[in-house]
Chain A
Amino acid sequence: MMDDMGAIFREEVRDLLESLERGLLDLKARPGDMGLINQVFRDLHTVKGSGAMFGFTELAAFIHEFETVFDRIRSGDLAAGPDILRLALAAKDEIPGLVEGLPDPEGQRAAILQGLRAIMGGEAVAEGQGAGADEAPVAVGEGPSRLWFRLTGAALAMGARPEIVLDELRGLGATQVVADLSDLPPLDRLDVEACAVGWAMEMPAGVTTAQLEEVFLFVDAEWRLEPAVQAAAPVAVSAVAAATGPATGAAAPAAPAGAAAPAARADQNGTTLRVPAERLDALMDSVGELVIVEARLTELARQSRDPALMATAEQITRLAGGLRDATMTMRMVPMRSLVGRFRRLVMDLSDKLGKPVNFSVIGEETELDKTVIEKLADPLVHILRNSIDHGMETPEERAATEKPREGLIELSAVHAGAEVLIRLSDDGRGIDAAKVRAKAVAKGLIAADAVLSDAQTFALIFEPGFSTSEQVTELSGRGVGMDVVRRTIDSLRGSIEIDSKPGRGTTVTLRLPLTLAIIEGLLIEVAGERYTLPMASVQEIVELPPEKAVAEGAAEFLDIRGRFVPFLRLRRLFDCAGEPGAAQNVVIVQSGEVRVGIVVDRIVGTNQTVIKQMSKLHADVRAVSGATILGDGSVALILDVAHLVGMGRASGEAGAQMREMAA
């Protein structure tokens, strides 16, 4: 059981650390905010308390001094100055290591505590752990003794139960228990909440006052223990064991509930369930299987033409759809869970580089599939780092160009159809396209005479081994990273674009699918083979004009309402044998701002596409982003629209050039 508890505790600590970090960072901006101070105190308190509970004593001891400091801040004794916040953040970073029992070879932790004590003026921050002076047990007399007790005050209203007390006393050997009704008032004056009955009994020899104190620990009671033989003056008297006078419990007015900060908790009211991620994955897998079987059933029902079977299949379709939507919703996680660590990163970097930055976040509540969120963290960190390290000017440089000294970085996340757009913009110096180009030529990434748009030029930054920084810095490294960014975004079936204006700043836009598990697909057929296109990227479907039925030259265009759209022939691209039929269709797909037509033999229809990853053995096939199993059990490949669009755009641009030259 304690193993389970350890896992639950670790998860709790993760949440607490997130809340703690957020609180500390927000406190930096609003040092006097009592709500924040209370929240930070509570988080520290819980980490310490729960840590001690589950045997993380080192952790508890480490947190103890910080808890004390924030308790003092809470009581107005101390201000939450930047030094304390900095140390608290550093301490927060040590907590995962303490939880995992990692050693601290460089003495970080001791240094942090020392720093804290230094700020507190050398005084030991925490008072010693109260040395509970155990009193020596006092036995009363040699022989048996007589005990008398009566519950006092509001003991009954507080839940004290005389029969339990009597049971405990019997456990100590009490005999001849008799009720003492001498104080019982007449019925009309009887207070039902008070206990007017007392009890008297014989206790065996050797029973100590300490044992009796233990029995009466929680009970407001008067009790007397005296030697049984000579019923003389009491030897030991304890008026009210639990130290309060007539308790005010029952009559006490309720304090306003607003004493604690109204910090929003996801699990307020206990309506939120915590489910291990693997269970959600398993559920999603089952739902995926169900959707596939459902497609198979629908197909069979259609073939059978049995109305009852078709009606049942339809019901199953509806139910499976509901289950699918519900399951996918469960997997959605807000961006907020990522943002905390970005705030921290920005703060650390801007401190380190001496570039003050104002970091704002829009759309923290925007939700994405948890797998997407998990994989998104590293790419965003890379981009953010680059933005501060390379994009941001120093305050002096900024002042010289009449920009505010403080730089601006904005992270936004918004839904757009079945995609999420994540934008990271800065108002820094922008990317010098000519410099990027020169570097790419020097590195042999492009030919010296290559014709590239700005967007294409900026995209070179994501090529392996490219770095725009003139000097390699400790922070952004040697150009490793940006190519990893693109690879990660690719693996999420997303795309990445850079827009930059010299002197004005840079915006990096990530487009990501909402989910990785099930998408609405458009099933198409090319030379008897079936493929799926994500419906979200399909703009429209047109017929291929008869005069274009046969391929001509390298680049081909369609005139879609006065705009030239380049198109690709899948038959040719996929090296299919045979000739297409008379009527071919063109599916116009869009990725980013670019539209490309894809020529197919036939549109089969839309379907629920449960995405299966391609194996590593097919990792080199960029045009395919995954596979799905159709109702008849066969496999259809899912086409990577971003990649196809990239190919179409390249051929379109090449074609446009040729046309210009011909003109």
Chain B
Amino acid sequence: MSKSVLTVDDSPSIRRMIAMTLQEAGYAVTEAVDGQDGLTKALAQPFDAIITDQNMPNMDGLSFIRALRQHPQGKGVPVVVLSTESEEGLKQQAREAGALGWMVKPFTQDKLLAVIKKVVG
């Protein structure tokens, strides 16, 4: 049974890039287009990890994580937040909101795989 990852990003290209990279490495990937969509999907089925962008329409990454952590089935799943170098302060807020880790854009496919391996094994 392959590990499942939810990627939440409003940018189709980043979403696809993450999905394709992880799928090639044997993960099952589900895509969501914003925080709201991500929340719906994260609560509908268990994931081994979630990667979310911060800046998205409808519901941003931090709000998504906070909402997720309120639900019993949303606790315990590791969430990695994508940030940019100009969002240093975000790491702190992300951890307070309940994110496990972060990844700074731009990142390489290798970096992505390393981070995911780090959170789901």
Chain A residues within CB distance 8 Å of chain B = 1, 4-5, 8-9, 11-12, 39, 41-42, 45-46, 48-50, 52-54, 60, 67-68, 71, 129-130, 154, 156-161, 163-164, 167-168, 193, 217-220, 242-244, 247-250, 252-257, 259-263, 265, 267-270, 274
Contact = CB atoms under 8 A, between A and B. Distances in A.
A158 B100 CA distance: 5
A156 B13 contact: no
Interface of B: 10-14, 16-17, 20, 24, 31-37, 40-41, 49, 55-60, 62-63, 66-67, 69-70, 75-80, 84-86, 88, 91-92, 95-102, 105-107, 118-121
Nearest to A218: B101
Choose among B11, B49, B97 the residue with the greatest number of A CB atoms under 10 Å from its CB: B11
Nearest to B30: A270
A268 B57 CA distance: 9
Query: Which of A39, A254, A268 has most chain B Cβ within 10 Å?
Result: A254
A528 to B, nearest CB: 55
Contacts of A261: 57
A247 B33 CA distance: 28
Given A167-B121, A247-B98, A156 B76 contact: yes
Contacts, number: 180
A269 B79 contact: no
A46 B33 CA distance: 13
Contact of A268 (B37, B66, B79, B102): B37
Contact of A254 (B34, B36, B70, B84): B70
Given A8-B16, A49-B84, A158-B79, A249 B10 contact: no
14 contacts: A1-B24, A130-B86, A157-B75, A159-B100, A168-B118, A252-B96, A252-B97, A254-B66, A255-B62, A257-B36, A257-B59, A265-B58, A268-B36, A268-B37
B58 to A, nearest CB: 6
Interface centre among B35, B57, B107, B119 (most CB of A within 10 A): B57
Given A12-B11, A130-B85, A260 B118 contact: no
Contacts of B55: 41-42, 45-46
Given A12-B12, A50-B11, A260 B59 contact: yes
A45 B57 CA distance: 12
Contact of B63 (A71, A254, A263): A254
A67 B70 CA distance: 33
A159 B33 contact: no
Given A53-B17, A158-B100, A244-B95, A164 B33 contact: no
Contacts of A253: 66, 70
Contacts of A52: 105-106
Contacts of B78: 158-161, 218
